[in-house]
Structure 1
Amino acid sequence: MSLASSLGTAQAIFRNTGQQTSVLTTNVSNDGNDNYARRQTVVVQTVYGATMVQTERSQQMALLRQFSNSTSQQSAQDTLLEGLETLSSTLGGNDYELSTATYLANLQSSLQSFAAAPGEYALASTVVTDAIDVANSLNNAAAATQSLRADTDAQIAEQVESLNKLLAEFKTVNDTVVRLTATGADADNYLDRRDTLVKEISGIVGVSINMRDFGDMVLYTSDGTTLFETDPREVTFTRTNTYDATVSGNAVYIDGTPVRAGVGGNTDGQGTLSALVQLRDVIAPTFQTQLDEVARGLIEAFAESDPNGVDPDMPGLFTWPGGTTLTSGVVEPGLSALIRVNTAVRSDSGGDPMLIRDGGINGATYVQNTGGSSGFTDLINAYVDELSADRSFSADADLTTATSLMSFSSDSIGWLEEYRSNATTASENKTALYERTYQTYSTKTGVSLDEELSLLLDVEQSYKAAAKLVSTIDEMLQAVLEMAG
Structure 2
Amino acid sequence: MSLASALSTAQSIFNNSGTQSGVVSKNIANAQNPDYVRRSAMVVTGGNGAVIGDIARAQNAPLLRQTIESSSIASGQRTLLNGLEEIKNLMGGNDNELSPAKLITAFRNDLDAFSSKANDTGLGIAVISSAQDLVSGLNTAANKLQQIRKDADDQIKQNVSDLNGLLAKLETVNNQVKNATASGADANDALDERDGIVKKISEIVGVTSYTRDNNDLVLYTSDGVTLFEAVARKVTFQPTAAFDASTTGSGVYIDGVALNAGESANTTAKGSIQAFLQIRDTVAPTFQSQLDEVARGLITAFAETGPAGTLTPMTGMFTYKDSSGVQQSAVPAAGTIVPGLASRILVNPVVVPPSGSPDKVRDGGINGAAYIVNTDGGSSYGDLLDKYNENLEGPMAFDSDTEIADAPNLLSFASDSMGWLEELRSTATSSEETKTALLTRTLEAFSSTTGVSLDEELSLLLDIEQSYKAGTKLMATVDEMMQALLDIAS
Is there any run of 5+ residues in structure 2 with no aligned partner, and where?
A: 322-327
Query: For this pair of structures, how many residues does the alignment match?
Result: 484
Deviations 1:245-275 (A, max 9, x none): 0100000011111111111111111000000
Matched residue, 1:479: 484
**Structure 1 pair 47/484, CA: closer, same or farther in 2 (3 Å)?**
closer
Q: Secondary structure at the match of 2:336?
A: coil
| CA apart distance, 1:402 | 4.2
Deviations 1:225-247 (A, max 9, x none): 11111111110000001000010
Matched residue, 2:425: 420
Matching residue within 332, 335, 343 for 2:341 = 335
Matched residue, 1:465: 470
Q: Which runs of 4+ in 1 moved over 4 A?
A: 47-50, 308-311
| CA apart distance, 1:102 | 0.7
Deviations 1:122-179 (A, max 9, x none): 1111111111111111101101110000000000000000000000000000011011
Matched residue, 2:330: 324
| CA apart distance, 1:219 | 0.6
Matched residue, 2:45: 45
Matched residue, 1:106: 106
Write the letter of the residue equivalent to 1:334.
Answer: G
| CA apart distance, 1:445 | 1.4
Q: Contact 1:19–1:53 (CA<8 Å) still a contact in 2?
A: no
Deviations 1:185-217 (A, max 9, x none): 111111111011000000000000111111001
Write the letter of the residue equivalent to 1:115.
Answer: S
| CA apart distance, 1:411 | 0.6
Q: Contact 1:118–1:375 (CA<8 Å) still a contact in 2?
A: yes
**CA distance in 1 between partners of 2:372 and 2:264 (Å):** 49
Q: Contact 2:157–2:239 (CA<8 Å) still a contact in 1?
A: yes
1:451 equivalent in alignment to 2:456: yes
Write the letter of the residue equivalent to 1:457.
Answer: L
Matched residue, 1:380: 385
Deviations 1:285-337 (A, max 9, x none): 00000000000000000000033567411000100123311111011000000
Matched residue, 1:117: 117
**CA distance in 2 between partners of 1:323 and 1:359 (Å):** 15
1:196 equivalent in alignment to 2:196: yes
**CA distance in 1 between partners of 2:187 and 2:389 (Å):** 76
**CA distance in 2 between partners of 1:163 and 1:176 (Å):** 20
Q: Secondary structure at the match of 1:54?
A: strand
**CA distance in 2 between partners of 1:151 and 1:418 (Å):** 23
Matched residue, 1:251: 251
Q: Secondary structure at the match of 2:418?
A: helix
**Structure 1 pair 401/50, CA: closer, same or farther in 2 (3 Å)?**
closer
Matched residue, 1:27: 27
Which stretch shifts more, 182-191 or 280-289? 182-191
Structure 1 residues 7-22: aligned runs within 5 Å: 7-22=7-22
Q: Secondary structure at the match of 1:390?
A: coil
**CA distance in 1 between partners of 2:463 and 2:361 (Å):** 92
Deviations 1:21-66 (A, max 9, x none): 1111111111111121111111112456563342111111111111
Q: Contact 1:27–1:39 (CA<8 Å) still a contact in 2?
A: yes
**CA distance in 2 between partners of 1:134 and 1:187 (Å):** 65
Structure 1 residues 25-174: aligned runs within 5 Å: 25-46=25-46, 51-174=51-174
TM score, norm. by length of structure 2: 0.97
Write the letter of the residue equivalent to 2:486.
Answer: L
Q: Secondary structure at the match of 1:403?
A: coil
Write the letter of the residue equivalent to 1:474.
Answer: D
Deviations 1:420-452 (A, max 9, x none): 111111111111111111111111111111111
Deviations 1:84-119 (A, max 9, x none): 011000111111111111110011111111111111
1:352 equivalent in alignment to 2:361: no
**CA distance in 1 between partners of 2:108 and 2:223 (Å):** 50
**CA distance in 2 between partners of 1:480 and 1:160 (Å):** 75
Q: Secondary structure at the match of 1:320?
A: strand
Identity %: 49
**CA distance in 2 between partners of 1:450 and 1:201 (Å):** 32
**Structure 1 pair 308/400, CA: closer, same or farther in 2 (3 Å)?**
closer
**CA distance in 2 between partners of 1:105 and 1:422 (Å):** 27
Is there any run of 5+ residues in structure 1 with no aligned partner, and where?
A: none
**Structure 1 pair 50/23, CA: closer, same or farther in 2 (3 Å)?**
closer
Deviations 1:67-87 (A, max 9, x none): 011110111111111110110
Matched residue, 2:229: 229
Matching residue within 385, 391, 396 for 1:391 = 396
**CA distance in 2 between partners of 1:167 and 1:320 (Å):** 49
Write the letter of the residue equivalent to 2:25.
Answer: T
Q: Secondary structure at the match of 1:410?
A: helix
